[in-house]
Chains A and B, each alone.
Chain A
Amino acid sequence: MKYCPQCKAHVKTVHDYCPICHQGLNGEMRESFVSPYPEKQETRKTLLPVTKNILFFLTLLAIVTLAVINLLASHETWWSLVPIGSVLYFWLAVRIGVLSRHNVAFRLAMLTVVLIAIVNVIDIFYGGNKGWARNYVSPFVLLSANLALGFLLWFKNTDYRDYLLYMLTIIVFSLVPLILYFTGLVEILWPAVAVFGVAVLILFLITLFFPAAIKEEIKKRLHF
């Protein structure tokens, strides 16, 4: 054991100075002595944050470049908004879909919502509002999300707890096209019916197979 004559305290350490007054210590430790706390090791930096930053920087660069070219070349029309939208979607797709640590169901739900928002904006503001986005693309994006989540839930049913909420969100969203049809905002009926049918079927299957889980999930998420 070492000893600090200034502090009159014993010190268990391999270092030669006192931890509280930083003056020299007397005495020696036994050969077998191990430091009471681990030494600092350099923590391994993961590549993920760097990749995220590079991606963000490239996205920003592309958007600024597009906007500048738009302003300099022809500022009568905002044609650059369509490529900017695509760049943004690409960024979100990679950021949420690939680089995020959230669970698969969350990523799918997020990407579905973002994709639907973007195609509708493009259709309404730049495609002459022909309605293809809300009539066909949106229902089918929802339909595929429904099916994908249904399969996920089916095959990975051990951690259904983490998926259920996003699953229910997508199902609720799937009712929107049909509601829009009855309010007259959507003109084509059958894609809306198709997605509604699939959503109801999946909902029926979930309630059939995990009735208690659904009740629990709702109780958990809504307790106050």
Chain B
Amino acid sequence: MKKNIYNDWYMLDNSAKIFPEVSTRRETNTFRVEITMKEVVDPEVLDEAVSHVLKRFPMFKVRLKPGFFWSYLDYNANPFHAEKMTHEVCGAIDPKNNNGFLLKVLYYDKKIAVEIFHSLADGAGAFSLLKSIVYEYLSLMGFFVQSDGLVLTKDSRPILEEYEDSHKAYYDKHNRKHVTEKKAFRISGTMLPEGTTGLISGELSTKEILALAREKGASVTEYLSALMLKVIYENKIAHREHMKENKRPIKIFVPVDLRKHFPSRTLRNFSNFVKVGLRMDEKPYTFDDLLEETGRQFSEGLKKEELIRKMSENVSFEKNPLMRISPYILKKPIMKLGYELVGMKLNTMSLSNMGRILLPDSLKPHIESVGAAVYSGKHNTVNMAVASYLDRFRITFTRSIVETGIIRDFFRHFTQKGLNVTLESNYVEEWL
């Protein structure tokens, strides 16, 4: 393979190829991961930490360039700096205003956050980077830190497996049947202005929410998905079942970290999805019905053959000989059109559960909580991201509409059951 892996170029991985063609200021395809420290962040130390860590993550120190057949990521020699967080949440990252980079490291009060364009990495890759930055930051602040094998430190060396396009390693060209899908129900509302995203997060106890899900025999992700079906139905469809748009299925897009299903160590994209879809106009469902249906769809979607099928469907598109030989200039509109016609409108919302974030013991005294957020746009107007650290289970909603009814009913479900919920918001309504 490559001789110089510190200073090189990379092909976009299979799932990364679509994002540069379909991203706009409204559909930014950016997401955020953040760690809240116990003390206020020192920007200068953070800046130094970031410059050390980026040497360990060469696949993030890149810019996007057009080639003749495909665009690619090329080493970017420009300096990278941490920036003060602004009111924008998962806004478009314009490489021209960002030294060519496709990610940002942000700080605000006690928070350190990484915002990253989806072409570079998925949630797992972004959290790896953020953990390394926090580790290096604390080390530069003079604290004793030890990685315990849970953090990639600047002293370790990048290995080739971290660069792998794992889709290509595990796909199967005989299992790539395309399944056509129906358009999904869209959560309508009053659109917020472009570049403005509403953010509301609620912190629960990990133990309490786990107990709640276990009691119903469901995983936490299944429980949250079923609850979303319920609150979207009650808010938007109940008593209006006869309307045409309400006959569309509510579809919740749940990313699946494929590293948990295949032995991959890549830091780039390697996720797929499970989709929970249900027409809610046909009959009244109880919450238990919804849980059962969600559980069934999850076990279907998580079957190994099904995960490979979804992966192979995408890889075969890229490997199609006609697609391969057509110049990039022609590929661009094809990809854009395909996505516009089908991809975009197939989901009602996305629910990303980044899971439990593991940190070494030496970091724990300095860290308060973790969180994540994904962009919301024209079609997915309300999205959810979940991350937990010790007993702090944080659910973050981002929205591109003004209305908060769905989010209200979602959190009230837990408080009515006696669970503790602590809310935070960026109070986007104050900016209108």
Chain A residues packing against B (C-beta within 8 Å): 1, 4, 7-13, 15, 18-22, 34, 36-41, 43, 101, 158-159, 161, 216, 220-224
Known: A20-B407, A38-B86. A8 touches B416 (CB 8 A): yes
User: Known contacts A11-B424, A41-B87; can you find 12 more A-B pairs with CB under 8 A?
Assistant: A8-B421, A9-B202, A13-B423, A15-B427, A20-B404, A22-B404, A37-B89, A38-B108, A40-B430, A220-B65, A222-B69, A223-B67
Chain B residues packing against A (C-beta within 8 Å): 9, 11, 65, 67-70, 72, 74-75, 77, 84-87, 89, 96, 108-109, 196, 199-200, 202, 324-325, 404, 407-408, 411-412, 415-416, 420-427, 429-431
Contact partners of B407 in chain A: CB under 8 A:
20
- Determine chain A's interface SS by DSSP, over half rule: loop
Q: For B84, give the chain A residue with the smallest CB separation.
A: A38
A204 CA to B431 CA, complexed, in Å: 60
Q: For A161, give the chain B residue with the smallest CB separation.
A: B74
Contact partners of B199 in chain A: CB under 8 A:
37
- Determine chain B's interface SS by DSSP, over half rule: mixed
Contact partners of A159 in chain B: CB under 8 A:
77
The minimal Cβ–Cβ distance linking B371 to chain A, given in whole angstroms, is 10
The minimal Cβ–Cβ distance linking B415 to chain A, given in whole angstroms, is 4
Is the CB–CB distance between B87 and A8 below 8 Å?
no
A-B contact pairs, 21 of them (CB 8 A): A7-B412, A9-B202, A9-B423, A12-B422, A13-B424, A13-B425, A19-B424, A19-B427, A20-B425, A21-B404, A21-B408, A34-B109, A37-B85, A37-B87, A37-B426, A38-B87, A41-B86, A161-B77, A216-B9, A220-B74, A224-B325
Q: How many inter-chain residue pairs (CB < 8 Å) link A and B?
A: 109
Is the CB–CB distance between A221 and B423 below 8 Å?
no
Is the CB–CB distance between A8 and B415 below 8 Å?
yes
Contact partners of B86 in chain A: CB under 8 A:
38, 41, 43
A1 CA to B85 CA, complexed, in Å: 24
Partner of A13, one of B75, B411, B427: B427
The minimal Cβ–Cβ distance linking A79 to chain B, given in whole angstroms, is 36
Q: For B87, give the chain A residue with the smallest CB separation.
A: A40
